[in-house]
Amino acid sequence: MDTGKTERSYAREFLKSRSGVVGLVLLVLLLATSLYVAIAIPQSEAYKWDNPSVWTNNPAAVPPSWVNYFGVDAPQTASFTLQGWSGSSSSSGAAYSSSVAIDWNHAVTPSNIVLTPNFSGTAYELEVLWTKPDGNTVQVSLSSPVSGTSYTLSYTPINQALGQYIQTQTKSYLSEVSPAQELAALFNRDGPGILNGSVQQGSYSATVQIVGATGLSVSTSSVSLVGDSYGTMGTDSFGRPIELGVLAGLPWALELGIIASLISVIGGIIWGGLAGFYGGWRDKVMSWGTLVILAVPGLAFIIAISYSIQLTLLNEALIIAALSWPGFAIISRTVTLSIRAQAYVEADRAMGISSTRTFFTHFLPRLTPVTIAFTALSISGVIILGETLSFLGIGPGNVITWGGILNAAITFDASLHGWWWWTLFPGIMIVVASMPFVLVGFALDRVVAPRVTAK
């Protein structure tokens, strides 16, 4: 058999299929992206992902920033540095102050404000004077500030000070102050209706003064107005950027898909091929073995087993492979049966060539193209199964998976709150990762095995 020629003709026919070529191009892009991600996003990111304190400075549950192009006013995070501290340190103590001008031209408030002072020495008090465009001021004091800490609106002294400010405006008692109300206090027009008023647009200024013991020295600090939109894919309710999760999940999904598919397809093809090749009682026994695994509910099985075995990428792939080969075995057996009917097999048999050798010389090469097509098709199935498992909370720890992000989305009622970006992008990514394999697989399937499914 002139295999070289066949391969070339397969390739030519494959290239005729438009969807196959599109799939191939997408596949190359996907692998390149995955390679980039594997290099650019180190494993340590995965440990950070599950640590909420890393993400406190990010806006929580905000849409992607490109919603601004669609008529939504959702400012991005704006950071300002406090530098050029003026003041002095003397024997009686030290006091420094710095001021920053902030232009705010949005009809909405930011979603939070974070103040991060940096200094060395002992500070007794930090005082912020917030001046609104109309000249009204709000004053907040923090005693014994700690250098490098991010003070947000949920910090109790800030919360209390702003609560008092609201009460002086509304002249009514407020038992509890939400971050949204704090922001209203800082940005809305003053008066009894401050909580429901409109945002003042224009130039704000924040003046920060730090008072401390002799020897205090203040370095560059920052004020940041946490935005109402973030990056290309928004954030979840912990402030984790969805885009980071979506990218970081790619290598894992591909590795799982490729490893598990290669094992299950090759195993299934050989198993089913041998069954069809031997025939007789061996075929009966092997086909029965195929039935046993076919009828195992893979998903439920893996869930149950995951309580006895600590899942890793490799053993999860092995378990998936061990449970997903029967489909390929069934088809391979059918193909083998049709090859067996052909004349050259009889010729080999007549010449006395051992049967196992016949299988590997005549049958396996003819099963190879089918194997490649099925591997491509199977990868998408494994990717989806893997993501489904992580959606259910089953999988190796310390990996970022799209299923895991979607699990968080359903746990925190993302759909109910209208946080569409949280469910949309990880899901699209599953489709993006599996579709090229499906396209290539379908095209290959049509080229190499036009009548495989017919028998």
Residues that bind another protein (CB under 8 A): 19, 288, 291-301, 303-305, 307-308, 327, 330, 377, 380-381, 384-385, 387-388, 391-394, 406, 409-410, 415-416, 418, 420, 423-424, 427, 430-431, 434-435, 437-439, 441-442, 450-451, 453-455
The secondary element (H helix, E strand) that includes residue 120 is strand 112-120
Return the residue matching tokens 């995955």.
Answer: 34
CB 453 within 8 A of CB 331: yes
163-186 burial, b for 16+ CB within 10 Å, e for fewer? bbbbeebeeeeeeebebebbbbbb
Question: Per-residue DSSP letters for 198-264?
Answer: PBPPEEEEEEEEEEESTT-EEEEEEEEEE-SB-TTT-B-TT--BHHHHHHHHHHHHHHHHHHHHHHH
Q: Which is nearer to another protein, 74 or 439 (CB)?
A: 439
Task: Supply the minimum distance, in Å, between the C-beta of residue 219 and another protein.
Answer: 47
Q: Which is nearer to another protein, 61 or 184 (CB)?
A: 61
Task: Supply the minimum distance, in Å, between the C-beta of residue 378 and another protein.
Answer: 10
Q: Which is nearer to another protein, 364 or 424 (CB)?
A: 424
Chain centroid, CA 260 distance in Å: 21
Q: Which is nearer to another protein, 90 or 308 (CB)?
A: 308
Task: Supply the minimum distance, in Å, between the C-beta of residue 291 and another protein.
Answer: 5
Which residues are CB-neighbours of 189 under 8 A, at least 6 positions away? 134, 197, 198, 199, 200
Task: Supply the minimum distance, in Å, between the C-beta of residue 437 and another protein.
Answer: 8
Q: Which is nearer to another protein, 70 or 307 (CB)?
A: 307
Q: Which is nearer to another protein, 296 or 353 (CB)?
A: 296
CB 442 within 8 A of CB 371: no
Rounded Cα distance, 62 and 23, in Å:
33
Q: Nearest Cα to 219, choosing from 161, 147, 288?
A: 147
Going by DSSP bridges, is the β-strand pair 93-104/86-90 parallel, antiparallel, or unpaired? antiparallel
Task: Supply the minimum distance, in Å, between the C-beta of residue 435 and another protein.
Answer: 4
Q: Which is nearer to another protein, 204 or 419 (CB)?
A: 419
Hey, what are 137's tokens? 């001021």
Task: Supply the minimum distance, in Å, between the C-beta of residue 270 and another protein.
Answer: 19
Q: Which is nearer to another protein, 10 or 442 (CB)?
A: 442
Task: Supply the minimum distance, in Å, between the C-beta of residue 310 and another protein.
Answer: 12
Task: Supply the minimum distance, in Å, between the C-beta of residue 404 and another protein.
Answer: 13
First to last CA, the chain: 24
The secondary element (H helix, E strand) that includes residue 304 is helix 298-305
Q: Which is nearer to another protein, 101 or 304 (CB)?
A: 304
Q: Which is nearer to another protein, 143 or 411 (CB)?
A: 411
Q: Which is nearer to another protein, 349 or 417 (CB)?
A: 417
Q: Nearest Cα to 144, choosing from 114, 163, 165, 117?
A: 117
Rounded Cα distance, 165 and 174, in Å:
11
Task: Supply the minimum distance, in Å, between the C-beta of residue 8 and another protein.
Answer: 25
Task: Supply the minimum distance, in Å, between the C-beta of residue 315 and another protein.
Answer: 12
Rounded Cα distance, 418 and 134, in Å:
35
Q: Which H, E and C letters describe 359-382, residue by residue?
A: HHHHHHHHHHHHHHHHHHHHHHHH
Q: Which is nearer to another protein, 213 or 309 (CB)?
A: 309
Hey, what are 393's tokens? 């909370």
Task: Supply the minimum distance, in Å, between the C-beta of residue 455 and another protein.
Answer: 7
Chain centroid, CA 327 distance in Å: 30
Task: Supply the minimum distance, in Å, between the C-beta of residue 441 and another protein.
Answer: 8
Question: Per-residue DSSP letters for 6-23?
Answer: HHHHHHHHHHH-HHHHHH
